[in-house]
Structure 1
């Protein structure tokens, strides 16, 4: 089955914020972060049900090398990325996006 992948606007903002922060720490590090995110998104696209449910209908994939997680939901043939959060952030922040 082919899945459509949609990154919700609030997740886009999460990604932009993280990119900006990493890039301000070291030139090129933001780009490495984006490549790691792209790898996660490709993995999700190939088999979104491979990751277990962690809260209601949300699933989580860990971002390699960076302390971030992508949170997403699967509805029929569409994957919605709802958040990209640092693993130390309060989970209630991304959980609120499900309602």
Structure 2
């Protein structure tokens, strides 16, 4: 059974900001970004342990088309999405959220 998925408020802000930025670059690109994030979240829910631990129990799933990563923690029954950030962002941004 898939685990319950909780998206932290700051991760929701990450998603909205990135989608808005992509839409400003090209109409419809924000929707494509969000669609790819949805597919990545589905992969995380199905098999969270396939993604590597990158810091103190935090795992990272990379998007295929966009240079973004989803940072999350997984337990037996729940997955908590901490951040969805561009891969060039300073790691301290998501590490602060993981504390």
TM-score higher than 0.5: yes
Displacement after TM superposition at 1:64 (Å) = 1.2
Secondary structure of 2:84's aligned partner:
strand
Deviation of 1:2 (Å)? 2.7
The match for 1:92 is 92
Aligned pairs, number: 99
TM-score (normalizing by structure 1)? 0.97
1:49-64 equivalences in 2 (<5 Å): 49-64=49-64
Shift of 1:75: 2.5
**Where in structure 1 are there 5+ consecutive unaligned residues?**
none
| 1:24 aligned partner | 24
The C-alpha deviation readout for 1:8-42, integer Å capped at 9, x for no partner, is: 10000000000000000000000000010001000
RMSD: 0.8
Q: What's the TM-score, normalizing by structure 2?
A: 0.97
Pick which of 19-28 and 1-10 moved more: 1-10
